[in-house]
Amino acid sequence: MNKSFTRRSILAATAAASVFLLADQKMAWAMNEAPRKELRIGMSGYPKTLDPVIATDTAIRRIMPQVFESLIARTQDEKMSLTPGLATDWERIDPQTLRLHLRKGVKFQDGMEMTAEDVAFSLGQIHLLGPGGAGATEAVGLLGHIDDIKVEDTHTVVIHTKTPDPLLEQRLASWGSEIVSKHSFDAAGSWQKWTDAPVGTGPYRIVSKKLDVNVVLEPFDQYWGGRPNYSKVEYRIIPELASRVNALKAGELDLVTDIPPDQFAEIKSAPDLEVAGGPVQNIRSIVFDTNDTILKDARIRRAMSLAIDRKLLVESLWDNVLPVPNAYQLPSYGDGYIKDYPELAYDPAKAKELLADAGYKGEQITYRLLNNYYPNQVSGAQVMIEMWRAIGLNVKIQMMENWGQIEGKPIHAIYDSSNTALFPDILGHAWRETGPLGAYPHLTGTWQNQEYFDLGAKLATTMDVAARQKLIRQMLDIITEIDPPSMVLHVSGQFYGKRKDLHWVPGQTLGLDFGPGNPGLNKP
Amino acid sequence: MMVRFVSIRMARGIVTLLLMVTFAFVVLRVSGDPVRSMLSPETPAEAIAAFRKSWGLDQPIWIQYIRYLQAILHGDLGQSVRDGRAAVVVVAERIPVTLQLTVPALMLNIAIGIPAGLMAALRKNSLTDRILMTSAIAGFTIPPFVLGLVLVLLFSVELSWLPSGGSGTVAQMILPVITLGIGGAAVLARFTRNAMLGVLGEAYVRTGSAKGVPWRRVVINHAFPNAAIPILTIIGFMIGNLIAGTVLVESVFSWPGLGSLLVASVLSRDLAVVQCILLFVAGAMVLSNVLVDLLYGLLDPRLRSGADK
């Protein structure tokens, strides 16, 4: 083919190439260099620490997912299935041993590549035991049974536990198991300096924090999971609900946390705002002090539970958006969920029978109450007082100022509680309160049941699914019917006010995820 | 002697501070376990015990108290449990932030309250007097918390003229200063009016007028200086009220000053910080009252000579 180049054809080709290059550049810019907005969040509390192992309160968890990641992640749907995180895959070697293959090319926010050494450090004793090696960390209870972490190569670790652990994968996907940079920890020289700005692999890094004012993050563009969406994420601490809502309505914030149902209409009345959120992996309950002369009788405790119309409670106080679980368990427990377990009954007639059997004659039962530490707490208490009165129970509210007063001994009362599932299983949830080292037997001393403790201990090392289910059913029978330490009210909810143009999807936990992996934010 | 006068007042101030510190120490510890307030209700018992030990909270309260007093005498006010830094550092960085509100608010008190009170007194029972005093009653009776929220709804949410909260800019100061200043201005206006009316009825004012001294000079040179002593007393008290007022106003406007720090620290039983703030506030009150006493002497020579005796 004989084709000559003319001036016109060269010009045309040049123009076409320029257009192509420009379009390509524009696409690249759109993909990687698009201008990013700031994300401004108003939340009620300041985080007590920013290291993942020390503590896990709500304020902390709202920041953690931006900065840290764990080896195994979870889907943020109701199943909360395990999914690859910083480990691409894992294999069981035996009931006590798990090998994990680490994702390659993952960088920490300090620029260092994540290796098996960082994993061994993060889950090892020096980090888990926390400041001064005192063991004053919440992660010790979760991962303290790990006795060895073997580094096979730079991207393979083998974790060995002291006893068989069917839930090790679940634990490695839980709060407190996030991987931190050993290099930065060593460089910091002290826990104090480390916790000022700890370093993880997440899509944002900590820039600054000011007590009771704010925590500021900036994007980490080398994040393995994609380009972070925001040029800056600022958590502003605004304890007053009215002030948070006003700041959202004034356009000064994009999202505010801790919105109770009585504010839903107020937020929805603004054309550019909406309410997001729903149930989370947390159960609200009322604790019984079984040392009390009245409450030591299980029939009284069962009667108190049977007297509560939970559906009415949720309808009237929570716009009917929160589910009532069938006993102290959630559907996300997977194989450990007893689906056919009976619903929590509302049966005032049976409750009256139980009171009569117990010889109850109107003795006072004290209800220690905080002023809305939990949303709708006081309203809920007032409703329940009336429900109890209807079956002849004499329950009197005693207002308290703080948890120290609520749990001040002797308690001889009932009080509210809320418990988050560290991982979706009875051992990651109810057991945190009812196990021998849990809050009721060990901290407040309100309840003991040796049979239950033995069943839980056996469950912790039982690998067979059917055997586990049988044990869990027996445990649920004890804490629901035979000897209840508490009565479940409903699943807790977390609700947010937000701008409609913020396409963020809340998850199933108290954590807020603003990374590129969020199903709302990763849409083009 | 002036030195003796000041020394006695300073000694009283130190006793006041000691009593206040002791009271706060006992109340904060008796009314709630700081460890349970600091840590989440879900914290394992081992972590709680270790935390308690690491902060010396496992000791009997009297040992904690003696150690605390010893530390104060060595200039050590303890460490913030929430922040990890020295409590005095945490508090010191909030003082200028709170002064950014309280100083303009005090100036607003004086700039509005005294002229309004003077005008009301000089036009007693007139329409101006009634309007000013009705406004003063309204200003005094609206709780700062409510006033703050109303101002935010109007100027931030509806009109978008001013930010609803935060700190760092002049615009962010306007609403909290107004909220903090209005109540005090109202009190000062009423107090100034009453003080002036009392003085305007005195014989020397009538004498001055009868001698043909211009009314303006009578008011400025004779009446107002005599009314100034009770006004000064109330301004001394208002400094304390302003600091107390910041507790509410800083919460409404998310202003990161001493008031919001005090609320957060009390709720979390961050004892060292609470006690450090109380020491500062009590110290400021003692100092302001000593200054007011000294100013009495400057304004009224009779008091000065009385002090010399």
For residue A83, being part of any structural domain is answered with: yes
Number of domains in chain A: 2
Confidence bin at A446 (pLDDT 50/70/90): very high
- Same structural domain for residues A198 and A67? yes
pLDDT at A192 over 80: yes
From B33, B47, B165, residue closest to A238, measured CB to CB: B165
| DSSP-derived 3-state class of residue A81 | coil
Q: What is the pLDDT of residues B233-273, one digit of tens each?
A: 888 888 877 888 888 899 899 999 999 899 888 877 788 89
* Whether residue A154 is found in the same domain as residue A217: yes
Pair (A427, A378) in one structural domain: yes
Q: DSSP labels for A85-101?
A: SSEEEEEEEETTEEEEE
Residue B73 CB partners (closer than 8 Å, separation 6+) = none
Q: How far is CA A357 from CA A298, A345, A354, A414, in A?
A: 11, 19, 5, 21
pLDDT of amino acid A6: 57
Contact B267, B37 (CB under 8 A): yes
Mention every residue, 6+ apart, whose C-beta is less than 8 A from residue B216.
none
- Residue A451 domain-assigned? yes
Provide the pLDDT for residue B306.
Answer: 52
β-pairing, A486-499 with A82-84?
A: unpaired
Residue A355 main-chain phi, psi, to 5 deg: -65, -40
A251-290 burial: b if 16+ Cβ within 10 Å, else e: bbbbbbbbbbbebbebbeebeebebbbebbbbbbbbbbbb
Rounded Cα–Cα distance for residues B84 and A403 (Å): 22
Measure Cα distances from A2 to A5, A6, B42, B153 in Å.
10, 13, 82, 78
Rounded Cα gap, residues B263 and B267, in angstroms: 6
The number of CA neighbours under 13 Å toward the Cβ of B49 is 9
Residue A29 DSSP code: I
Q: Do A46 and B264 touch (CB under 8 A)?
A: yes
Average pLDDT over residues A443-459: 96
Q: Is the pLDDT of residue A415 over 90?
A: yes
Tokens of A362: 């109107």
Q: B224-252 vs A241-249: helix axis angle to the nearest 10?
A: 80
Specify the pLDDT at position A5: 52
Residue A92 lies in a domain: yes
pLDDT computed for residue A1 by the predictor: 41
Q: For the residues of B261-278, what is the DSSP string, one character each? A: HHHHHHHTT-HHHHHHHH
Average pLDDT, integer, range A373-397: 95
Q: What percent of chain A has pLDDT over 70?
A: 93
- Whether residue A6 lies inside any domain: the answer is no
Q: What is the pLDDT of residue A38?
A: 96
> What range does the domain containing A298 cover?
279-493
Greatest pairwise CA separation for chain B in angstroms: 85
According to DSSP, the β-strands at A230-237 and A37-43 are parallel
Residues of chain A in contact with residue B37, where contact means CB-CB under 8 angstroms, are 402-404
Regarding whether A314 and A204 lie in a shared domain, the answer is: no
In the predicted structure, residue A129 carries a pLDDT above the cut 50 = yes
Task: Please give the residue of chain B at the shortest CA–CA distance from A435.
Answer: B44
Q: What is the pLDDT of residue A373?
A: 86
**Amino acid B193: pLDDT:** 94
Region class of A469: left (phi > 0), else alpha (psi between -120 and 50), else beta: alpha
The predicted structure's pLDDT at residue B36: 67
**Residues A392/A307, Cβ–Cβ less than 8 Å:** no
**8 A C-beta contact, residue A56 and residue A175:** yes
pLDDT band, very low/low/confident/very high, at A286 (cuts 50, 70, 90): very high
User: Is-contact B229 B297, C-beta < 8 A?
Assistant: no
pLDDT in tens, B2-42: 677 777 777 887 888 888 888 888 887 776 676 766 666 55
pLDDT tens, position by position, B75-121: 888 888 888 789 999 999 999 999 999 999 999 999 999 999 999 99
* Confidence (pLDDT) at B65: 87
Mean pLDDT, rounded, of chain A: 91
Chain B hits for A242, Cβ within 8 Å: 149, 252
Average pLDDT rounded to a whole number, residues A131-152: 86
Please tell me whether residues A301 and A243 are part of one structural domain.
Answer: no
| Tens digit of each residue's pLDDT (9 = 90 or more) over B130-144 | 999 999 999 888 888
A47, closest residue in chain B (CA to CA): B82
Task: Give me the mean pLDDT over the B60-64 stretch.
Answer: 85
Q: Is residue A93 pLDDT above 90, yes or no? A: yes
CA distances from A434 to A381, A416, A449, A479 (A): 23, 15, 9, 8
> A82-86, A137-141, A153-157, A294-298 — which is least confidently predicted?
A137-141
CATH classification of the domain holding A211: 3.40.190.10
| Local confidence band at B305 (pLDDT 50, 70, 90 cut-offs) | low
Residue A99, token pair as written in the block: 């090998």
Q: What is the pLDDT of residue B43?
A: 65
The CATH code of the domain at B87-308 is 1.10.3720.10
User: Do A179 and A73 share a structural domain?
Assistant: yes
Q: Both A111 and A213 in a single domain?
A: yes
The interface residues of chain B toward chain A in range 42-61, judged by CB-CB distance below 8 A, are: 42-48, 50-51, 53-54
The answer to whether residue A110 sits within a structural domain is: yes
Strand ranges of the sheet holding A37-43, from the earlier edge strand across to the other edge: A204-210, A214-219, A230-237, A37-43, A255-256, A486-499, A273-288, A414-420, A364-370, A394-400
Indicate the residue type of A302: R
Per-residue model confidence (pLDDT) at position A2:
44
Measured over the CA atoms of residue B297, residue B299, residue B301 and residue B306, the dihedral's sign is negative
Question: Comparing C-alpha atoms, which of B34, B242, B232, B198 is closest to residue B114?
Answer: B232
Q: Per the structure block, which two tokens stand in for A506?
A: 């809340």
On the question of pLDDT at A322 being above 80, the answer is yes
pLDDT average, residue stretch A333-357 = 97
| Mean pLDDT computed over A380-404 | 94
All residues of chain B having their beta carbon less than 8 Å from the beta carbon of residue A213 are 167, 256
pLDDT of residue A486: 98
- pLDDT at A28 (0 to 100): 46
Helices and strands counted in chain B (H then E): 15, 0
Is A94 in the same domain as A201?
A: yes
Q: Tell me: do A225 and A294 sit in the same domain.
A: no
Query: With DSSP H G I counted as helix, E B as strand and the rest as coil, what are the percentages for chain B, rounded to 5?
Result: 80, 0, 20
Bridge partners for A493 per DSSP? A279
Contacts of A246 in chain B (CB under 8 A): 149, 152-153, 156-157, 164-165
Both tokens of residue B219?
């008011």
Confidence band of A3 (pLDDT split at 50, 70, 90): very low
B34 in reach of chain A (CB within 8 A):
yes
pLDDT above 70 (res B224): yes
Residue A515 scores a pLDDT above 80: yes
Query: 3-state DSSP helix/strand/coil percent for chain A, to nearest 5?
Result: 35, 20, 45
Smallest CA–CA distance, residue A151 to chain B, in Å, is 29
The answer to whether position A36 is within a domain reads no
Please answer whether residues A495 and A260 qualify as being in contact, where contact means their C-beta atoms are separated by less than 8 angstroms: yes
Q: Express as a percent the part of chain A with pLDDT over 90.
A: 76
Same structural domain, A51 and A116: yes
**A216-231: b or e for each residue (b if 16 or more CB lie within 10 Å)?**
bbbbbeebbbebbbbe
pLDDT at site B308: 44
Cis peptide before A410 (omega within 30 of 0): yes
Name residue A74's beta-bridge partners.
A82
Q: Look up tokens 């729903």; give the residue.
A: A278
Closest-CA residue of A relative to B53 is A134
Task: Inform me whether the pLDDT recorded for A269 exceeds 70.
Answer: yes
Maximum distance among all Cα pairs of chain A, rounded to whole angstroms: 111
Whether B33 sits inside 8 A of A192 (CB atoms) is no
Residues A512 and A474 both lie in one domain: no
Q: Please name which of B285, B300, B291 lies closest in space to residue B228, comparing C-alpha atoms.
A: B300
What residue spans define the domains of chain B?
87-308
pLDDT of residue B263: 87
Are A469 and A518 members of one domain? Answer: no
Q: What is the CATH number of the domain that holds A428?
A: 3.10.105.10
**Residue type (1 letter), A132:** G
Which residue bears the tokens 């020390």? Answer: A54
pLDDT of residue B205: 85
